Structure 1
Amino acid sequence: MVPSFLPSLPQMQPFLPSELLLIFKWVAAAGNDFQARSRVKHRTANVYGRQARERVLEEEASEMAEATPSFKIFPGQAFPLGASEVDNGINFAIFSQHATAVTLCLSLPQRGELDMLAGGMIEFSLDPNLNKTGDIWHICIEDLPRSNVLYGYRIDGPKDWDKGHRFDSNNILIDPYAKLVEGRRNFGDAKHKLSKFLGTYDFDSLPFDWGEDYKLPNIPERDLVVYEMNVRAFTADESSCLDQDIRGTYAGLIEKIPHLLELGINAVELLPVFEFDEFEFQRRPNPRDHMINTWGYSTINFFAPMSRYGSGGGGAVSASREFKEMVKALHGAGIEVILDVVYNHTNEADDKHPYTTSFRGIDNKVVYYMVDLNNEGQLLNFSGCGNTFNCNHPVVMELILDSLRNWVVEYHIDGFRFDLASVLCRGTDGSPLGAPPLIRAIAKDATLSRCKIIAEPWDCGGLYLVGSFPNWDRWAEWNGKYRDDLRRFIKGDPGMKGAFATRVSGSADLYRKNKRKPYHSVNFVIAHDGFTLRDLVSYNFKHNEANGEGGNDGSNDNFSWNCGFEGETDNVDIIALRFRQMKNFHLALMGVPMMLMGDEYGHTRYGNNNSYGHDTALNNFRWQQLNARKSDHFRFFSEVIHYRQKHRVFSHENFLDRSDVTWHEDNWDNPDSKFLAFTLHDKGGGEIYLAFNAHDFFVKVSIPPAPPKRRWFRVVDTNLASPDDFVGEGVPGIGSTYNVAPYSSILLEAK
C-alpha cells in the first residue's frame, strides 16, 4: 500500500501539546527496544486542520501507542551501500566524508485508520561513535517491513560555502544507492509537480522470471543497426491506438516491437530511463517554466528506472518489473537494449538556483561535484547544465561502476551510450586526463565485459575527443565528424568529396591510428538533439522560439539546407527534393549506422533543434503519419536496412584496403566536384556499386564492367518514385553508362 504522503511530502510543522503527549506515550511504550544512543522522532504531517488533528490525536492517543511499531536498533554495517536485507533486519549505509550529523528518515506503510500520523517520518539519528565506519554512516533496524518503506536522509555539516560545502539538514535527501525511487505516480501530473522523491526497496517480490528459453541477443558490434528512441514519446501520442494507461510506457513500447522488426533495426538506444524530474523547470519562475523535461537528461538517481514510465501509475516496484518485461520482450525479438546514461551531471542545477535532492546535500565538496576553490567554491560547469559530476573521484567512480553493474545484472542491459563522455575524462579539478581511471575501469570491468560501451566524445567545456577518446580497445564513439561531413557533402558544399569518401569507408583517419576497428565508429546523420532528418532538409535556421530562451539555445552549426524554401511548403518539387535528400542520407549510412525515431516517416519538429522540454506532438511519434507513408518513405527506409543486413560488404571487421574498394575517381582535388562513385568488393564474390551526385545537374557516369558471368542490376535510385526507388531483386538492363539525377544516389548489385 502506498504511504499517504505520496505524491508529495508535507512540510514539517511545530508540535502541538496534544501531539507531544502522544509522542511521549509512544516513546515510553517503545523505548525499551531502542539502543540508548539512538534518538527517535516521529513528526506529524500537516494534512489536517490543526483543530481536527488535535481532536483526533487526543481521542486515539492510546490506540496509536499500541499500534505504532517498535524496533530494535543495531549499529549496522558499512557495506553494501544503500538499503540491504541482512540477518537481523534492514541495513542502511551512506557515504559522506564531511558530514557532522546524519539522520535516517523513514515512512512506513499505512496501517489503516489508526495511522493518524501517516505522512510523517520516523527519524533515527546516527551516533558517529556507533554508526560510522570511516566515512560511511550506517544503521540496522529490525522488524521493518520488507517493502513499501520510503526512506531518505537529513545530513548536516560545515556551512563553509566558499569551501564548497552545501549542507542543509532541512532537506530530506535521496540515497545515491537507492535501487528504487518513489515520487509522483503519473508522468506530467501537474497537481503534484512539487512532489518530493525518496528511495524505497523491495525484498518481498519474487525474482523476475526471465524464462527458460531466454537468451541475450549478443549481436556482434559490426552488425548493429541502432535506433535512438524515447520511451515516452514513442507511444504517448493518441495515434498509437494503445490503451490510455500504457501510452508512453515500457508496456507501450512492447506493443510496438512489431514496428521495430518491420523497420529492421536490431538495437534500441533509449534516451535516459534513470529516474528524473520532468517538472524541474517549473520549480521557480524562469523562461523555461512552461517546459516539461521529456528527454530525461537530468538524473536524480543512477540505479532506479524511471518510475513514471511504468503503466497505470503503479510506482517504482511495478515500473521496475515492467522495465524487465520490456527488456525480455525486446531480447525475445532479437533486439538489444542500449541505455543513454548521464553521469556527467545531475538534476541539482547550479549554485544560483540550487535544487537539492541528493548529492549536493550529502557531500558537495570534492566528492560528488567539481568545485572551483579559487572562486568561492562555485561549481565547475563542463556539462552546460550548471554542475559537473566528479567522475574520477574514487567514491564517485565506484558509484558509477556499481550503477552500471546493477543495470547489467538486474536488468540485463546490453550496452551504454555515455552522454558528454569527455566529462568522464576530467580529473577532480576539471583538467583533462590522458588515462582516465573511470574510462579504464569501465573497459576492464568483468561484469561489463559483454556490453557495448559508446562515448559521446565531447563536452561543453571544449574537450573534443572524436577519434582520440581513451579506449583500451573497447570504447566505441559517436562519430560527430561522420555526421558533419555527410551533411555537408549531400547538401552540395564544395570540397567535401574526400571527407565523404573517408567517412563512408570507415573513418580510418580517426580510428586506425589507435588500434580500433571500423565498428568502433557509430555513424549517424541525425540524433535526438539537433534537427530531425526532415528538418535537416527543410530549414536553414533553427526555430526554437517555443523554448522560451529567445532562440539562444540549440546549436547554430546544423549544416542543413532547406531545398529552396524555409519550412513547410506545398511546392511539390521542393517536397520531392526533400524526400530525395532524406533517402540519400539514409543510403549513405554505412558501418554501424544509427537513426533517430521518427525519421522513418519524416518526423518534423518545425525547425526546433532543441526540443527537450516539449511533451507534445513536437516530440511524439506520429503513428498516423507513419501509416500514411508506409508505401513510400517508410518502405524505402525499411528495405535499405534489411538489404544492408543481408550484405556484409557494408560492415567490415577491418579497415578497407585496395581489395575491398575501388574508387572510380580521378578528380579528388577539384573542390567543385560533388560526385563520387565507388565499388565495394565482398571477398565472397559479391560487388556493390554506389554513386552519389550532390550537383544540381545530371551526371552521366561510366559504369565499370561487372565481374565475369555477372551483370549489374539496379537496386536503388533515389530519384525514382516508390516503389521503383528500391527494388530488392534488382532491375536488369544496366548499360555501360547511367544518368544520375541531381541530388540523388544509386546502388547497383552484380548478380
Structure 2
Amino acid sequence: MEKCRMSANLARFASTPGAHLTPDGVHFTVFSRHATAVDLCLYNAASPGRETGRIRLTRGERDLWYAFVPGLKSGQLYGYRAHGPWMPQNALRYNANKLLLDPYALAISGKPDARASMHTPTGPGFFPGAHDNGPEALKSAVIDRDYDWGDDKAPNIPWRDTVVYEMHVKGFTRTHPDVPAKLRGTYAGLAHPSALKYLKDLGVTAVQLLPVHQHLDDQFLIEKGLTNYWGYNTIGFFAPHNEFASAADPQAQVREFKDMVKACHAAGLEVILDVVYNHSAEGDERGPMLMFRGFDDRLYYRHDFDEHGSNYINITGCGNAVDSANGPGLKLVLDSLRYWVTEMRVDGFRFDLAVTVARDEKDEFNVNGQFLTAVAQDPILSQVKLIAEPWDIMRFDSYQVGAFPEPWRELNGKYRDTVRRFWAGDEGSTAEFAKRFCGSQDVYGGNQRPALSSINFLTSHDGFTLLDLVSYASKHNEANGEENRDGDNANHSISCGVEGPTNDLRVNRLRGRLRRSMFATLLTSVGVPFITAGDERGRTQKGNNNAYCQDNEISWLDWNTVDAEMLEFTRQMLAFRRAHPEFRRTEFFDGQWTPATGLPDVAWLEGNGSLLCHDEWHDPARTTFGALIAGKPPMVLLFNRGDLPAPFILPGTAGCTWSAVFDTANSQSFDTQKIPPTAGGANLTVNSHSVVCLKLSAGILGLTMAC
C-alpha cells in the first residue's frame, strides 16, 4: 500500500513543476526541453555555501525532469544545474557551472544582487563561464504550504466602490513612528494596526503594492551605491521578495506575507499586486544567468532568428521579453497568478507593460491571443481584479489604451495627461478634459467596454508626486547618477513661478489650490480612482520623476511631515464620493432626460447660464464650464482653470436654492459657511484654478435652455 501511494505521488508531482513537500520528503520537478541532463543540488540552510548533495533528475513526459528525495523538510535549500549545448546563435545557453533558481520556487534565500558570478559571457568567440557560482548563488527554498486562514474573507468590493491606493511595501512604513522599528518597511509593518487604521481613515478600499515578487538589484545600480527600489526586475514569480520581510527564515517570510493579506482583509482592504511578467531580471545576453536562460532560453524568451543567429526581442526596454505566447512561459505566468490568488489570497493584479504579456506568437498585440484568451476563460483569474498598463515600448503597436477586452480595466494615460494639461492652463484642453471627466467614452465605448473600464490617475510611482507636479517645471533626477538624462520629459507640470520649495505664501497657496482641484476632479470623474501613496500628505521627491533606484528619504513616506489641510481634504473628498452614487456611475453619460428628475443625466453649462454648445467647447481660450449632474439632489460642478475669477449664473429660477458642498479655492474646502446659499439665476463667482460643487437644497429644477 505504501509503495502504491508513493507511485501515485510520483506520477502526480512529476507532472507539476516546483518543489512539493510531503510527509515522506520532497518531490522536485522542473521544465527544460533542450537540456541533455539536469542535476538537483541540495544546500543546508545553516551553511548555504556548501553543497550537501547532488541528484541527477529523470526526464519524464512534457519535457519535465523530476526526482523524489526522502527525508527532506521545510526550509531545505536547493538549486539546479542544467547541462546542454552552448549555442547562443540558436538561443541555447546551457552552462552547468551556474546554479539556477527553480522558476516555481515559493521562496528564495540569499542577497538578491546581480553579482559578477551570475553572469555568463556571450557573443562571438565567447564560451560559457568556467566559474562555479554554487556557493554564492541564490538558492530556492522548500516551503510548507499549510496556513491557518481562520475566518479570512475577501472584501470583494465592486469596481464602482473601489479606490486604489498605490504604495511601496517598504516605503510606506519605513519611517512610521507607531510601527515597531523592527517591523518598519516590511509586510508585517503594513499589517500593523496603525498602518491599517490610517488607510481605513483615509477611505481607500484597495492597496496596490509595487512589485513584491522576488527581484534582483542591477549590477550597474549597485556599482553606483543604488538599488532597484521599485522592484521591476523579477526573478521569482512565486516568491515574495525576501528583503520586505521582517523574518529571515524563508518559511516565515511566506507566512508573514499571508499574515499581511489576512490583516488587510480583516480591515476591509483588498490587496492588488503590481506584477512584472513581461520580462525578467536576466536582461539581454550580457545579463546574469539565473533561471529561464539556463533552463531553456529558446522557449522562455521571445527571439528574432535570422541568418546571423538569435537576438532577444526587447520590447520592454529591459533586454528581454518573456514569451507568454509559448507553452512554458504561458503556463508559468498562469500558474503564478493562480498561486497568488488561491494560496496567497490576493484580490487582483496590475500588469506592468501588459501589452507585452498580451502579444501572440508573432509578437503582435492580439486581444484574441493566448494570454488574454486563457485569462478570460479561467474560472479563478477571470473573477479577480485585472488592471492593464496598456502599453509597452519600441513597436508600432505599443500603445493600446482602450484595446483590452473585458474583464480588464486599464490605467488611462490619456486621463492623466489631459487632466494635468487642463489644470496647468494649456489652451484647447477643455473639450478633451470633459471627455476624460465623463469616463473616456471615446476610448472605451466603441469596444462596448463598461464606463468603469478607466482607472483614472493623476500620478503614479513613475513620475512626479502630486506636489512636485505643481512645484517643478522640469525633472531633477541628478541623484540617479545619469546626469538627469533618465525619466520622462513630458510631464505637463508647472512650477507656479518658483522651481521647487519656497516660502512664498502666494505660490504655496496656488500649489495647494491646484492639488485640491485635481483631486476633486479625480474623485468626481466617471471611472475608478487611483491615488499614489503620500499625495494626500504632500509628499515630495524633490523633483525626481524616476525614483526607481532611490531606496531612501526621496521615496519613503515621511511620517513626521504632513500637509494636514491636504490630508483632511482627501478624507473629505473620499467620504463625499462614497455618499453620492452619482459620482460612482457604472454607465456613461448619454445626455438623455430622466423622467425621475426632469433633467438630463449631465448638462454642460456656459458661464451665462446657457447650455454649452459644440463650437464653444473647442474655443482654445476657454477656461470655464459647468457640469450639472442629475441626482438626489442634483449637483453642479463649476470648473475654472483660468488665472482670474469667473462669474457663473446658476441654473434654475429664484425659487431654487443652491448650497455649497466644497470649494477648492479654500484650504478648508468643505467649510461651506464661506459660500452662502445662492438662488437659481443668481451670479456666483468661482475663483481661479478651482472647482466649486453645489447641491440643490430647495426648489425644483427644470432646464428649458437650448444652444
Letter of the aligned partner of 1:158 in structure 2? P
Letter of the aligned partner of 1:660 in structure 2? D
Please name the residue that 1:688 is paired with. 635
Q: What is the CA–CA distance in structure 2 between the aligned matches of 1:655 and 1:720, rounded to whole Å?
A: 31
Q: What is the CA–CA distance in structure 1 between the aligned matches of 2:338 and 2:438, rounded to whole Å?
A: 35
* Residue 208 (str. 1) matches residue 147 (str. 2): yes
Letter of the aligned partner of 2:44 in structure 1? L
The structure with the larger Rg is 1
Q: Give the C-alpha shift of residue 470 in structure 1.
A: 3.1
Q: What is the CA–CA distance in structure 1 between the aligned matches of 2:549 and 2:654, rounded to whole Å?
A: 54
* Residue 647 (str. 1) matches residue 580 (str. 2): yes
Please name the residue that 1:249 is paired with. 186
Aligned residues of 2:512 and 2:667 also touching (Cα < 8 A) = no
Letter of the aligned partner of 1:181 in structure 2? I
Please name the residue that 2:664 is paired with. 718
Change in Cα spacing, 1:514 to 1:706, as seen in structure 2 (3 Å) is: farther
The 5 Å alignment of 1:484-495 reads: 484-495=417-428
Q: Secondary structure at the match of 2:575?
A: helix
* Residue 740 (str. 1) matches residue 698 (str. 2): no
Please name the residue that 2:232 is paired with. 297
Q: Give the C-alpha shift of residue 711 in structure 1.
A: 2.7
2:205 to 266, 285, 294: 266
Change in Cα spacing, 1:469 to 1:397, as seen in structure 2 (3 Å) is: same
Please name the residue that 2:650 is paired with. 703
* Residue 233 (str. 1) matches residue 171 (str. 2): yes
The 5 Å alignment of 1:568-607 reads: 568-589=501-522, 590=525, 591-607=527-543
* Residue 314 (str. 1) matches residue 240 (str. 2): no
* Residue 383 (str. 1) matches residue 316 (str. 2): yes
Q: What is the CA–CA distance in structure 2 between the aligned matches of 1:258 and 1:730, rounded to whole Å?
A: 31
Letter of the aligned partner of 1:236 in structure 2? R
Q: Secondary structure at the match of 2:149?
A: coil
1:453 to 386, 390, 403: 386
TM-score, normalising length from structure 2?
A: 0.87
Q: What is the CA–CA distance in structure 1 between the aligned matches of 2:460 and 2:45, rounded to whole Å?
A: 43
Q: How many residues align?
A: 644
Q: Give the C-alpha shift of residue 135 in structure 1.
A: 1.1
Q: What is the CA–CA distance in structure 2 between the aligned matches of 1:317 and 1:520, rounded to whole Å?
A: 38
Q: Give the C-alpha shift of residue 172 in structure 1.
A: 0.5
The 5 Å alignment of 1:281-680 reads: 281-282=220-221, 285=223, 289-311=224-246, 313-351=247-285, 353-365=286-298, 367-374=299-306, 376-462=309-395, 463-471=397-405, 473-589=406-522, 590=525, 591-626=527-562, 629-630=563-564, 632-658=565-591, 659-664=600-605, 665-666=612-613, 667-680=616-629
Please name the residue that 2:594 is paired with. none
Q: Give the C-alpha shift of residue 195 in structure 1.
A: 5.3
Q: What is the CA–CA distance in structure 1 between the aligned matches of 2:674 and 2:209, rounded to whole Å?
A: 35
1:123 to 46, 50, 54: 54
Aligned residues of 1:426 and 1:436 also touching (Cα < 8 A) = yes
* Residue 177 (str. 1) matches residue 104 (str. 2): yes
Alignment gaps of 5+ in structure 1: 1-72, 187-193
Change in Cα spacing, 1:429 to 1:451, as seen in structure 2 (3 Å) is: same
* Deviation digits for residues 565-593 of structure 1 (CA, Å, limit 9, x no counterpart): 21122211111111111111100112210
Please name the residue that 1:12 is paired with. none
Q: What is the CA–CA distance in structure 2 between the aligned matches of 1:357 and 1:222, rounded to whole Å?
A: 42
* Deviation digits for residues 123-175 of structure 1 (CA, Å, limit 9, x no counterpart): 1123xxx433341111112222x212111100121111111122211111011
Q: What is the CA–CA distance in structure 2 between the aligned matches of 1:96 and 1:302, rounded to whole Å?
A: 17
Letter of the aligned partner of 1:350 in structure 2? D
Q: What is the CA–CA distance in structure 2 between the aligned matches of 1:363 and 1:445, rounded to whole Å?
A: 26
The 5 Å alignment of 1:137-176 reads: 137-144=65-72, 146-176=73-103
Q: What is the CA–CA distance in structure 1 between the aligned matches of 2:428 and 2:344, rounded to whole Å?
A: 47
* Deviation digits for residues 590-637 of structure 1 (CA, Å, limit 9, x no counterpart): 2210010010011111111100111100000011112xx32x111011
Please name the residue that 2:6 is paired with. none
TM-score, normalising length from structure 1?
A: 0.82
Aligned residues of 1:76 and 1:140 also touching (Cα < 8 A) = no
Q: Secondary structure at the match of 2:238?
A: coil
Q: What is the CA–CA distance in structure 2 between the aligned matches of 1:435 and 1:707, rounded to whole Å?
A: 57
The 5 Å alignment of 1:89-104 reads: 89-104=25-40
* Deviation digits for residues 625-673 of structure 1 (CA, Å, limit 9, x no counterpart): 12xx32x111011110111111111121111121311111232121110
Q: What is the CA–CA distance in structure 1 between the aligned matches of 2:548 and 2:240, rounded to whole Å?
A: 19
Q: CA RMSD in A?
A: 2.3
Q: Give the C-alpha shift of residue 450 in structure 1.
A: 2.3
User: Which stretch of the first structure deviates more once superposed, 697-706 or 486-495?
Assistant: 697-706
Aligned residues of 2:41 and 2:51 also touching (Cα < 8 A) = no
Alignment gaps of 5+ in structure 2: 1-8, 114-134, 592-599, 606-611, 698-707
Aligned residues of 1:495 and 1:673 also touching (Cα < 8 A) = yes
Change in Cα spacing, 1:86 to 1:486, as seen in structure 2 (3 Å) is: same
Q: What is the CA–CA distance in structure 1 between the aligned matches of 2:441 and 2:638, rounded to whole Å?
A: 21
* Deviation digits for residues 410-452 of structure 1 (CA, Å, limit 9, x no counterpart): 1111110000001012234533335221012112210123201
Q: What is the CA–CA distance in structure 1 between the aligned matches of 2:316 and 2:49, rounded to whole Å?
A: 40
2:63 to 126, 130, 135: 135
Aligned residues of 1:78 and 1:137 also touching (Cα < 8 A) = yes
* Residue 222 (str. 1) matches residue 160 (str. 2): yes
Letter of the aligned partner of 2:520 in structure 1? L
Q: What is the CA–CA distance in structure 2 between the aligned matches of 1:338 and 1:231, rounded to whole Å?
A: 12
Identity %: 38
Q: Secondary structure at the match of 1:178?
A: coil
Letter of the aligned partner of 1:320 in structure 2? V
Change in Cα spacing, 1:249 to 1:706, as seen in structure 2 (3 Å) is: farther
Change in Cα spacing, 1:445 to 1:730, as seen in structure 2 (3 Å) is: farther
